[in-house]
Every structure is written in structure tokens, then in C-alpha cells.
Structure 1
Amino acid sequence: MQTGSSSQPNFFDTKVLGHPAGLFVLFFTEMWERFSFYGMRVLLIQFLTMSVIGLNPGWGWEVADAGALFATYAMLLYITPIFGGILADRYIGYRWAVVIGSLVMTLGHAFMALEGEMFMYLGLACLVAGTGFFKPNMTSILSEMYKSVPQKKDGAYTIFYMGVNAGAFFGMMLCGYLGERVGWHYGFGLAGIFMLLGTLQFWLAKPIFGSIGNVPKKGEKTIDNDPELADLTQEDKDALKKNPFTTVDYILITVSTIIGLLYAFDDPFRIIAKFRLFPETILGYDGKVVGIIFGLIVFLYLVITRISRYTKVVRDRMIAVIIFAFFTIFFWMSFEQGATSLVLFARDNTQRMMIGNSALLFNIFNTLLTVIPLLIITWVLYLLAKQTIKKAFASNIILAITFIGVWGAAIWMLNRDWSSHAYEVSYSAVKEAVLTEDGTHKIDESNNPVFKFTPISEAFSAKEGDEIVEVTTIITDRVEMEAGTSIKIYEELERFHVLTSDIEHPLREGYSKQGKTPHIIEARVTELKDGQVEITASWFSILNSFFIIAFASLVSKLWDSKYNPPAAIKYGLGLIIMAIGFGVLAYGANGISEGTRVSMMWLVFAYLFHTLGELFSSPVGLSYVSKLVPARMIAFMFGMWYLAIAIGNNLAAQVGGQIENITEKYSLSTFFLIFTVVPIVAGLIVIALNPLMKKLMHGVK
């Protein structure tokens, strides 16, 4: 394969912030892809679990079923890149793979923007397939660009990683806001628009890259001249040549792959088609469990027999990778709760209403949080345009259009929050005593009796003898009203909304189709209050990206200092620090009852610890696979690593989907304790294995 310097002699002459302009084309391409991916992801679990009737209706699925569907989706996202990387490396080249993946993902988002169950499934399938082409090949282009200057590669990956987090940040913020405030499909659609524009700007920037990312040539790198294998003896290199995949190996790979895919698709088939892919029972035991155990045995036999054929140094290094991959499962099983249970916790259990000075402070903070990163990235865009406007004029125009669009969306979002009004509203309700299981009046922590207030509405009338009282609540809306105004209100997710005529009509229509009467309440504005704002559930998800951008450079300096710990210590600490975040949530959720909401600060601190744990763990991952694994096994071992991440993501969604069941049987605090205890135990084991890991790695650091 051609190097960056030979294929494009002047490639490094056009620089932005000390790096080739092409790096920032990749930066923005990855940014828009992550924008679309995370923008969709933060909406999906909410959409699936929202009531089928309401102001912003969803599918009304049980949380467990929604988690199971998301588990399959998340697992496949890390399996398809294995095949996409192989296809690009051998046949179509990295650039075409990125373009194909981007277009397929754009089609997926377009499907999800449409109404209809089939479109949703087609959309998810396209996103999985498109990610398989896109995900592994962006970094391959980046790696190829820096072949002739490897000393600059670490800095390039840091900049690229910032693009990843910038895209995730704005995707979750803007798509999440649009989806929650206007409609889920609008959020899905916005993600697709920026995915399409990102694809166009990448393709039109082709002149900047020369032949980098083209279809590879055969025979350019062999085991004997591969610089990554320079530390191996000739005996080890000869052993690599003599260890091709056998027919039995391919059969075992096929069998374990088929069983793995059956496992991945079993839940969606059960939920959607009411059909199980595994037999109900095998030899008297659960068929799915037996099938999974058999598949694991086949896969472990394959791995053990492959590794045993190598010499000691190569064999030991691959064992080290397998150990890291095993503990990776526990990291992602916990960390990826951010896609399921933490989104639901933010929506259903976190106090997101702010009023008065608190609302003002949040609006100021959120404005700075939105505008400052946008200004910085826009400045980078300006620097890129200065260097590349003549060579890739059309690409720069597309990039300009994307940023006009994202600025427009951001200003629209901020304006809605700044221009909202708060009102005290009164309505009639039936007052009833809340009883304990033994029939006595329930008492709260302040020793006061607890009452339930049921609003009188079109669907609920007071009976003779009921105690009717006037209840007040605070409502926020962009409509200006005066005290004494009669209004109609509707409760959704424990928050009241003002019903204007354009909102009321589709709501009544939805109830009518179900043969039900809507709970529309007659109310009256009693007082104008200070400003109020409701934070979207999606907003909390941006904290991970924000904290990464804030702390990445500090942690990076630690790794460059004399205090840089060994890989096993680093990974173990990452697991433990992340677990502390869940411990914070377990403490904050301790003892809360149904309908109670906790302070948003518990969730803020949880995301802080989760991010610090990620920053400790992220240096270990794929970099150690590339350092420890020989060329002939690199694709297989990368596949194993992605499989471990896939299993972790799958388990994350499966267990996260059980949040309601575990909370009902035990408590919400118990649910979060699972993700506190398991990663801490795994982290301590990894740290204890440090002497063994150093021995197995044979000098690789």
C-alpha cells in the first residue's frame, strides 16, 4: 500500500494547527457521523418506551423489551466492522468503504425519520451495516496518512478523538432536544441530514488525499519486512508463516459465528415476530442457554488451538490480549448504561425543572456550553478553508452549509429556553389519603400524612362524598398569558403542559383511535412566576463528551509523565473509578419512592466519574492489540476485541432494560449497586494480575 509521502508528496505542506489539512477533513467527517449516531442513540430508548398516546407518542414498549432490541443493535454495531475492515483492506479501499458506509447510514436515518414500524427496523439495519463499513476505515485512513511521520500520530489521534466527542456532544444536545420537544422522528431526521452533508464534504475533499485510502495493492507488506514485527526473532516469524488457518479453523469460525448471530437476533425475533431462534429446550435445559454454552466452547477451542501453534513469545502476548478483552466486557457492560438505564433515570427519576435564579444560571451555563465549542470549531473550519479552498472548493462549501445549519439549530434551541415563561396554575382535584399495606394512613419523613391528588378531567369526575380541593402547579410555556386566563392542561411524564389548539387536536385524535377519553384538565392561571426551564433527559448524556474534552489533556499529561502506570493497573483503575460513579447514583437513589425525583447533581457526578474511568481505560484497548498481536493474527484478534466490546454492549442493554423489574423487586439503589460492585471486583482482579500481564507482554509497554 502506498505511503502518504509517496502518494502525495506535498500532503504535509497544507497544515492546520501543525497537522495536515486532511486530518481536519477526517475530523469533520467523523464529527458528523458521531453527531448522527449519538443523536439517534439518545432518542431510541426513549421513543421505544414512551406511551403510544400523548403529546410526543412512542411505541409504548416495556423497558425490558426495548433494552433487548437495543442490545441486538449495540452488539451488531461492533461485529459488522470486523467484516467492513476486511472488505476495505482487500477489495474496495478505505475511502470507498467510508463513503458506502456513510450513504447507507444516511439511508438508515431517513427511514427512521418516517412513521411506521417497518421503517424503524430498516433504519436500524442500515445503521448497523453502514457502521460496519465506516467505523474501522476512518482510523485506517488516518493511520495511512501518518505512516511517514509516526511521531505525529499520537497528536493526530488526540485531535481526531476531539472530533468524535464534538460530534457526540452536539448530536445528543440538538437531536435530543428536537426529538423530545418537537417529535422523535424530527430528531432522527436531523441526524440523517448532517450524516449526508458529512458524506458529501468527505467525498468532495478527494483532491486533498491523493491516493490515500485507495484500493490496496497486493504484496506490499510481508511478515519479513513488517516493522511492527521487528522485535521478533526469525524463528517467531517463520512460525507465523507456517500457521495458516486450516479447514477445521474455518468450520469452527463458521459455527461460532452462526450461534453468535442466533443469540444476537433471538430477542428481536421473540419480541417482534413472536418466534424463537433457539429451541425451547435441549436435553431438558433452556435451549438458548445450551446453545450459547456450546458456541462458547467451540470458540474457546478455536482460540486455544490457534494460539497453541505459535512460539512462546507470540503465544504469551496473544494470551495477554485475551485477558484484556475479557475484562473489557465488564467495562462496557457498565459504561454503556449511558444508552439505556441512565437515559431513563434522567427522564423518570431526576428533577429536571429549574425555576428563578436556578433557571437563569442553567440558561447561562447551557448557552456558554453550546456557543464556545461552536466558536472554536468554526474557527478551525475557517483555518481549514484558508488552506484548502482552492483544492477542494465544493467540500468547503458543504462544510460551511453544515455549520450554518448547526448554528441555526443551536440558536433555535437556546432561544426556546430563554423565551419560556413560568406560571402558577390552579385546577380542581380529588384529595385522597394514601394508605399503607396494613390500611393505616401513610406518614412521610417529616411525620406528616401523605395524600394523593387526582385531577378532575374529562376522563375523571368526582363522586359524591369526594373531597375536592384546589391544587396549584408551576407550568412553563413559550405562550404569553395573563393572570386569570382559563387554559387546558395535560399531564405527561409528571409534568403539566398547556394545550393549544394545534396540540390538543392530535392528542384527542390519538385517544379517539384507542377508544379512550383524554385526561384534559380545565385550569386557570393564578400568578406569573420567574423564568423556568425544563432540562431534557438527553442533555445529561452530553456530559460524557464535555468531561472528556475538559479532562483529556490532563490525563494525557499523566500518561506522558513518570507516573504513567502499567496497562493492567491503568485498566483496573478505570474500572474502579467508573464504578464509583454508579456508587454515587446508588447512594443518591437510596430510599426514593415512586414518583420522587432526585437532584440532577447525582447524575452530573456519576458522568464525571464514568468519564474519568473511560480516560483511564481508553489507552489500553486497540493500541495493545496492534502492539501485541502478529500480522497474520491481527484481523482475528481485532475481531475478538470487537466481539468482547459487542458482548459488553449487549449485556449493558440487556441488564439496563431490567431497571424497572429490579427496582420493583428490590430498589433503584440495588440496580445501580450491580454496576458498582461488579466493575470494582473486576478492577481489583486486573490490578492483581499486573505481574502476570507484564510477564506475558514480554517487554511491550
Structure 2
Amino acid sequence: MSEITSTNNDFFKSKVLGHPSGLFVLFFTEMWERFSFYGMRVLLINFLTMAAIGTNPGWEWTSENAGALFGTYAGLLYLTPIAGGIIADKFTGYRWAVVIGALIMTLGHASMALESEFSMYFGLGLLVIGTGFFKPNMTSIISEMYKDLPEKKDGAYTIFYMGVNAGAFFGMMLCGYLAEKVGWSWGFGLAGIFMLLGSLQFWLAKPLFGTIGDVPKRDKVVEAISPDGQIDVTQPKAEVKPEDKRNPFTMLDKVLIVITSIIGLLYLIDDPASKIGNIHLLPQEFLVSKEVLPGALVITIIGLVLFLFLVISRIVRYTKVVRDRMIAVIVFAFFTVFFWLSFEQGATSLVLFARDFTDRTLMGNQAVVFNIINTLLTIIPLALVSWVLFLLFKQTAKKIATSNIVLALSFLGVWGIVVWMLNNDYNSKAYELKYQAIKTAQIDKKTKKQAVDENGDLVFDFNAVTETTVLKPTDVVVDQTVTISSKDALKVNDKVVLHNEIGNFVYLTKDLETKIRNDYKNATKDSKIIKAEVVQLKENQVEVTVSWFSILNSFFIIAFASMFSKWWDSKYNPSAAVKYGLGLIIMGLGFAILAYGARVIPSGAEAGAVRVSMIWLILAYLFHTWGELCLSPVGLSYVSKLVPSRMIAFMFGMWYLAIAIGNKLAGSLGGMIEGITKEYDMSTFFLIFTIVPIVAGLIVVALNPMLKKLMHGVR
């Protein structure tokens, strides 16, 4: 072990769980950042597509427009960190970059909480810029902390990524619950509050870090990569190996980088701008007729071809071994696109599926069981993280007292929201209501005859009679029942009013009824208010929030990560290509489960017309997480192993480009859910994401022998 610097030696005097206390300051800072990021992310598609008139109105966008905006936002999140890392390295230092990024993201969340069109776009832009500063520099600080103790670095990253998953878990749970139960601005606002508290806590802990995170000295070069692929510029210069000899960018290289970057940025902005606002940054027609290929797509393809030429032209300048290894990286990067375009459906189409076609209402014993599970799922992780917080307080009470006070207030806030959430679910009241509906035969689009179910029984649609419905003499009107939850104490035979919100019947208080009537009047739309009558008092009922399903990924990662880690450390550890293939195949199997569960949803079904069991969505998230755990050891860590140090920054840019493309495609393809299910059915939509990753996974496995040769012994 090399001689430990005085700064790092002092840094390691204060320890928590065998690691310096400063690591846990970073743990909580990253936790609050992920809390805010995932808390907002889980709301965006739901908010954009929610009905504009209702108890919790959204913008009522089409899924295509919402997906286009989300895809651009998600794609840019993986491109700005490239610039953020360079700025931190050359000018600001890591610590200032983290603070700047956190403050910009705080302003972004605050802007989104205003819910106006300008504030939403402005807020998303700030989040993209803030992430660029924040994301690449947290792990760089850890790398600098452990530069003299490399053997402890893996353990440090394991602890750090527990903070990532804890933040994602609680962010999606609490921001989602507040947004859906109280109002969207509450969810967006909560994300911003904890981002601000996280940045304050980090900045006030400066005495604990000393000079760690300051602007790096210029006698250091890129030599190492953290497990998540962040560039570590803290390692001293080493003897340059032949394969690491300088390969400077030519003028043509620089020109191609500028051209392809401009094309990519223009396309990312043009896609949502043209769909939402009919604003075109790229020509609608270029080289070929727009009926054959839209101009924007033609230009984007040209940009990708130019970028591929750039990559190939640089690769051929290296020795054979290096060249082969870089080709292997390109193969992995290509198939990374297929993983992310499928995985990120969790933030797009699966949100809509959970909201519109999943039965999220639990009553009686089912509600009791869910409440118990949800309580354990929430309290146990929060208690464990609070215990870590207590250990940090014990070690740093005097040195960073103000930072600890901010952190304590943050956790008091989280505990308060959790107690309120659980109390709200435990004390909900349920009532069975009777309302009138028009009974019509459901027509099968394929046979043009009345549809039948699996038992051969005829299928009917029941459309609620609203106060503006004009009944025809031929209409068959029948009584239907629905169970709703309400905080109001209702009695049998009470007359109440309901509102149909994307297939959900919502009880209206007097104030809400007045508001919604005025909204319909101002919008000159037919009212969807329904008259109903209480017929029975029911046992307690719980409506699972749409955002609750998204927490399953973080939970399953925490639950299964150690099992997969033991697998990778065993003699049965598969090769990189097999891991990659398994990840893609298991991901596809998750969508196969959804395709099977959604088979009862007919073509063109309206939201809420048919709802399937939530078990299908839970199982899908389980398989998606297993796929992620298979694929995650391969990605960025293999870039650092296979690529020479002089080429690392460029290849990481290419890798992040692949992830950005995958995220953009995820938004675009996820936005097609309405069109595909209208023309075909929901199962067909999910089969797309079954077939594509499975075929891609099988191809990767088939390429295993070739990839092994290209990697020249690297495992």
C-alpha cells in the first residue's frame, strides 16, 4: 500500500461501519438526489397524460407526445454528464460541481411544481443541466477518498449504491403518494425540497473533507474507472504502455464530433417540439420524400453513420489487441440500446398500464395484507437507514453539527410523511355505490361479432350514465355497482356524485363537485359527473398508487443483489457475453408475463374498461430486475478493462450515447402504447418488448466465442 497522504489519513480517523464518515455524507447526499430524481421521474408520464378535468388534473397529452418529451429528457441525462465531468476536472473541482448541480436541480424541481407549460420545460432543462454537474462527480470524490486504500474501494461503492437504491425507493414511494393523493405540485415540490436539503447537508459537511474534491492538480491523468464507469482522475501518472501511446484527435475527428453532436442535440429537441408544438428544428423533408422517411430521421441516420465512421477511424489507429477489445466494447454498446429501450418502459408504458389497466383496488383481507406488507416494506428500510444516520451523528457531532441538524430535519420529514401515508391507508373507509349504465355488446374487431370470454360467455360493455347523457329509446339501462373509498362518513341511501377519471370512479365532495362543474363549463365539454347512491358499507379498502409499482425495482435490487454477487464470485461465473445475453433474455421474459396477463384486454379497450391482476406487473418488475442484475456487471466496468486509458473518455462518451439512444427509443416506443393497443391489443404491444430483447440476447450469446477472442483474455 502506498503512503497515505495527510489529508486522507485525517479523513480516515472518523469511521462508520469501517469506512470514513465522509463516505456516509456522500451516501446521504446521493440518496436525496436519487430521491428527487426518481420521485419526479415516476410522476412525469402520469401527470402529462392525466385528464385535464378531474380531482387531480394533468395535461391530458397523448401518450405519443408524453413519450417524446420523456425520451428526450432521459436521453439528455446521459449526455450532459460528459461535459459536467470535464468542467469539474478543469475548473470547479468535484465538490463545487456537486453543489452547483444540486442547486440547479433544486430550481428545476421548484419550477416543475408550478405546473405551467413554460415552468415544466424550464424545469426539465434545469434538471438535465444539474444532473450533468452532479452525476459524474460524486463517484470521483469517492475515488479520491480511497486513492491510497484501493482495496477498500469496492466496499465503499457497495455502500454508496445502497444509498442510490434507498433514495430511489423512498422518492418514488413518497413523491408518488403525495402527487396522486394530494396533488402533482406536492410531489414535484417534495422532490425539490429534499434535493435542497441534500445539497445543504453536503456543503455544510465541508470540514470533514478537507481538500478532497478540490480542483485536481494538472499533473494527474485519467487512469482509473469506478465500478459505475465514472472517470477517476485522481490516479498519478504511470509509465505509458505501448498501447496507451497518445492518439491525438485529428481536425477531421473534431469536425465530425461537432457535426454529430449538433445533429443529435437537434433531433432530441426537434422530436417533442414537432409533435407537441409543431415546431421543426430539422427539415421535414431531406434527400428523400417525407412519405418514405421524415427529414429529421434521415439527418439523424446520417449523423449516426458519421459517428460510426469517426469511431472506426480511431479504432484502426491502434494495435490489433487494443483494436479487437474496442470492437468488443462497440458490440456491447450496440446491444445496450436494446436493454434500455425495454427497461425504461418502467417509466413510460408500464406507468400507463398500471394506471389504466391494472386492478389496484384491494378490499377486506387483501387490503389488510397489503397494508402490513407495505408497512414492513417502508418501516424496515427507513429504520435501517436511520440507524446509519445515528452512527454518523455519533462520529461527527462536533465537527459537522450544522450538517447533521439539516440531515436530522430531513429524516424527521420523511418519517412524518411515512406515518401520514400509512395512517391514511389504514383508516380509509369503503362504500359500495349503485349507478346506472348503458349495456352494449362488445364487438370483436377481428370477427366483427360479439366478443366472448374464455368461458364462451358473451361480453358486454357498461358505460356509465352521466348527467349529460341523452338516453335513446333503444338503450338498455342497468344498475351497476362500484366500491369507492372516502374519508367522509356516508350512510346507506345517501345520494352522492362520482366522477369518471380515466376509468376510475372518484367520489366528489361538495367543493370538488363545484370545481369540476366549473371546469367543464369553462372548457365547454360534456360533464362526466355521475349520480350514485350508497347501498352498502364495506370493509376497509386500499387503492395502490400507480407509483408504488416502480419501487419494486429498487426493492428487488436490494433483495437479490447479494445472491447475484455470490454467483459472479463462484466457479459458475459466466462470461461477459453470456451475462449480457441472460440480462436481455430475462428482461424479455418479464414482458412475456405482461403479454400473457394482458391477453384479456381487447383491442381498442378504453382506460379502465378491463383491469387485470397486479401480480402480472409485480412479476414483470421482478424479472426486469433480475435482467438488470445480470447485465450490470458487464457494461461500464468492461469498458474500463478493455479500453486503453488514452481512449477511455471517448469510449465512455460512446457508451453513454448508446444509453441515451436506448432511453430516447424507450420514450418513443412507449408512447406508441395507445396507437398499438387501439389497432391491435395490449398483448401485441408487450410482445414487441418480449421478442426484441430475447432475440438480441440470443444473438449476444451466439457471439460469445467471437467476443472472447476479441477480448484477449479480459474477464
TM-score norm. by structure 2 comes to 0.94
2:123 is matched by which residue type in structure 1?
A: G
Corresponding residue of 2:573: 564
Corresponding residue of 1:275: 279
| Secondary structure, counterpart of 2:359 in structure 1 | coil
Do 1:228 and 1:627's aligned partners in 2 also have CA atoms closer than 8 Å?
Answer: no
Corresponding residue of 1:263: 267
Residue number among 418, 421, 425 corresponding to 1:417 in the alignment: 425
1:487 is matched by which residue type in structure 2?
A: V
Corresponding residue of 1:455: 464
Corresponding residue of 2:362: 354
Do 1:51 and 1:58's aligned partners in 2 also have CA atoms closer than 8 Å?
Answer: yes
Alignment of 1:160-239 (within 5 A): 160-221=160-221, 234-237=241-244
Q: Judge which range, 303-312 or 256-265, deviates more.
A: 303-312
Whether 2:410 is the aligned partner of 1:396: answer no
Do 1:8 and 1:211's aligned partners in 2 also have CA atoms closer than 8 Å?
Answer: no
**How far is the alpha carbon of 1:106 from its aligned partner?**
0.4
**How far is the alpha carbon of 1:166 from its aligned partner?**
0.7
Inter-partner Cα distance in structure 2 for 1:131 and 1:233: 33
Do 2:598 and 2:683's aligned partners in 1 also have CA atoms closer than 8 Å?
Answer: yes
Inter-partner Cα distance in structure 2 for 1:352 and 1:35: 24
Alignment of 1:488-499 (within 5 A): 488-499=497-508
**How far is the alpha carbon of 1:349 from its aligned partner?**
1.1
**How far is the alpha carbon of 1:441 from its aligned partner?**
5.3
Residue number among 657, 660, 673 corresponding to 1:646 in the alignment: 660
| Secondary structure, counterpart of 1:422 in structure 2 | strand
Alignment of 1:355-370 (within 5 A): 355-370=363-378
Inter-partner Cα distance in structure 2 for 1:81 and 1:318: 22
Inter-partner Cα distance in structure 2 for 1:581 and 1:434: 30
**How far is the alpha carbon of 1:505 from its aligned partner?**
2.3
Q: Judge which range, 367-376 or 303-312, deviates more.
A: 303-312
Q: Judge which range, 669-678 or 425-434, deviates more.
A: 425-434
**How far is the alpha carbon of 1:115 from its aligned partner?**
3.0
What CA deviation, in whole Å up to 9, does each residue of 1:545-594 have, x standing for no partner? 00001001111111122222221211111111111111111111124222
What CA deviation, in whole Å up to 9, does each residue of 1:497-518 have, x standing for no partner? 2211222222122112102342
Corresponding residue of 2:252: 248
2:128 is matched by which residue type in structure 1?
A: V
Q: Judge which range, 477-486 or 601-610, deviates more.
A: 477-486
**How far is the alpha carbon of 1:434 from its aligned partner?**
4.4
Whether 2:499 is the aligned partner of 1:487: answer no
Inter-partner Cα distance in structure 1 for 2:443 and 2:108: 50
Whether 2:584 is the aligned partner of 1:580: answer no
Corresponding residue of 2:227: none
Inter-partner Cα distance in structure 2 for 1:452 and 1:669: 20
Cα distance change of structure 1 residues 691 and 442 upon mapping to structure 2, 3 Å threshold: closer
What CA deviation, in whole Å up to 9, does each residue of 1:312-348 have, x standing for no partner? 2322222222121111111111111101011111111
Cα distance change of structure 1 residues 453 and 605 upon mapping to structure 2, 3 Å threshold: closer
Unaligned runs of 5+ in 2: 225-232
Cα distance change of structure 1 residues 427 and 263 upon mapping to structure 2, 3 Å threshold: same
Whether 2:695 is the aligned partner of 1:685: answer no
Alignment of 1:107-122 (within 5 A): 107-122=107-122
What CA deviation, in whole Å up to 9, does each residue of 1:87-136 have, x standing for no partner? 11111111111111100000000000003100000000000000111111
Whether 2:613 is the aligned partner of 1:628: answer no
What CA deviation, in whole Å up to 9, does each residue of 1:417-437 have, x standing for no partner? 111111111123344444567
Q: Judge which range, 472-481 or 529-538, deviates more.
A: 472-481
1:506 is matched by which residue type in structure 2?
A: K
Cα distance change of structure 1 residues 361 and 223 upon mapping to structure 2, 3 Å threshold: closer
Whether 2:682 is the aligned partner of 1:668: answer yes
Residue number among 338, 356, 381 corresponding to 1:330 in the alignment: 338
Residue number among 527, 530, 533 corresponding to 1:524 in the alignment: 533
Do 2:65 and 2:276's aligned partners in 1 also have CA atoms closer than 8 Å?
Answer: no
Cα distance change of structure 1 residues 223 and 493 upon mapping to structure 2, 3 Å threshold: closer
2:359 is matched by which residue type in structure 1?
A: Q
Cα distance change of structure 1 residues 582 and 466 upon mapping to structure 2, 3 Å threshold: closer
Unaligned runs of 5+ in 1: none
**How far is the alpha carbon of 1:467 from its aligned partner?**
4.2
Cα distance change of structure 1 residues 632 and 465 upon mapping to structure 2, 3 Å threshold: closer
1:44 is matched by which residue type in structure 2?
A: L
Corresponding residue of 1:379: 387
1:210 is matched by which residue type in structure 2?
A: G
Cα distance change of structure 1 residues 439 and 20 upon mapping to structure 2, 3 Å threshold: closer
Inter-partner Cα distance in structure 2 for 1:542 and 1:685: 31
Do 1:4 and 1:212's aligned partners in 2 also have CA atoms closer than 8 Å?
Answer: no
Inter-partner Cα distance in structure 1 for 2:139 and 2:409: 25
Whether 2:319 is the aligned partner of 1:305: answer no
Inter-partner Cα distance in structure 2 for 1:289 and 1:381: 50
Alignment of 1:146-157 (within 5 A): 146-157=146-157
Do 1:487 and 1:523's aligned partners in 2 also have CA atoms closer than 8 Å?
Answer: yes
**How far is the alpha carbon of 1:524 from its aligned partner?**
1.7
What CA deviation, in whole Å up to 9, does each residue of 1:41-64 have, x standing for no partner? 111001111111111111111111
Inter-partner Cα distance in structure 2 for 1:51 and 1:226: 51
Inter-partner Cα distance in structure 2 for 1:444 and 1:696: 53
Do 2:450 and 2:459's aligned partners in 1 also have CA atoms closer than 8 Å?
Answer: yes
Cα distance change of structure 1 residues 8 and 666 upon mapping to structure 2, 3 Å threshold: same
Do 1:476 and 1:532's aligned partners in 2 also have CA atoms closer than 8 Å?
Answer: yes
What CA deviation, in whole Å up to 9, does each residue of 1:386-443 have, x standing for no partner? 1111111111001101101111111111111111111111123344444567886554
Inter-partner Cα distance in structure 2 for 1:19 and 1:368: 28
Inter-partner Cα distance in structure 2 for 1:109 and 1:61: 21
Do 1:4 and 1:144's aligned partners in 2 also have CA atoms closer than 8 Å?
Answer: no
Aligned residues: 696
Cα distance change of structure 1 residues 83 and 513 upon mapping to structure 2, 3 Å threshold: same
**How far is the alpha carbon of 1:484 from its aligned partner?**
2.2
Corresponding residue of 2:347: 339
Do 2:147 and 2:235's aligned partners in 1 also have CA atoms closer than 8 Å?
Answer: no
Do 1:4 and 1:11's aligned partners in 2 also have CA atoms closer than 8 Å?
Answer: no
| Secondary structure, counterpart of 2:12 in structure 1 | helix
Cα distance change of structure 1 residues 503 and 696 upon mapping to structure 2, 3 Å threshold: same
Corresponding residue of 2:228: none
Alignment of 1:115-134 (within 5 A): 115-134=115-134
| Secondary structure, counterpart of 1:8 in structure 2 | helix
Corresponding residue of 1:292: 300
Q: Judge which range, 376-385 or 142-151, deviates more.
A: 142-151
**How far is the alpha carbon of 1:464 from its aligned partner?**
4.6
Inter-partner Cα distance in structure 2 for 1:441 and 1:141: 65
What CA deviation, in whole Å up to 9, does each residue of 1:219-244 have, x standing for no partner? 134889997997x984334xx22x21
Residue number among 403, 426, 432 corresponding to 2:434 in the alignment: 426
Q: Judge which range, 213-222 or 324-333, deviates more.
A: 213-222
What CA deviation, in whole Å up to 9, does each residue of 1:514-562 have, x standing for no partner? 0234222222211111111111111101100000010011111111222
Q: Judge which range, 304-313 or 434-443, deviates more.
A: 434-443
Give me the CA root mean square deviation.
2.2
Cα distance change of structure 1 residues 293 and 519 upon mapping to structure 2, 3 Å threshold: closer
**How far is the alpha carbon of 1:465 from its aligned partner?**
5.9
Inter-partner Cα distance in structure 2 for 1:3 and 1:642: 35
**How far is the alpha carbon of 1:302 from its aligned partner?**
1.1
Do 1:3 and 1:147's aligned partners in 2 also have CA atoms closer than 8 Å?
Answer: no
Corresponding residue of 1:66: 66
Corresponding residue of 2:625: 611
Do 1:175 and 1:188's aligned partners in 2 also have CA atoms closer than 8 Å?
Answer: yes
Inter-partner Cα distance in structure 2 for 1:319 and 1:508: 62
Inter-partner Cα distance in structure 2 for 1:308 and 1:38: 41
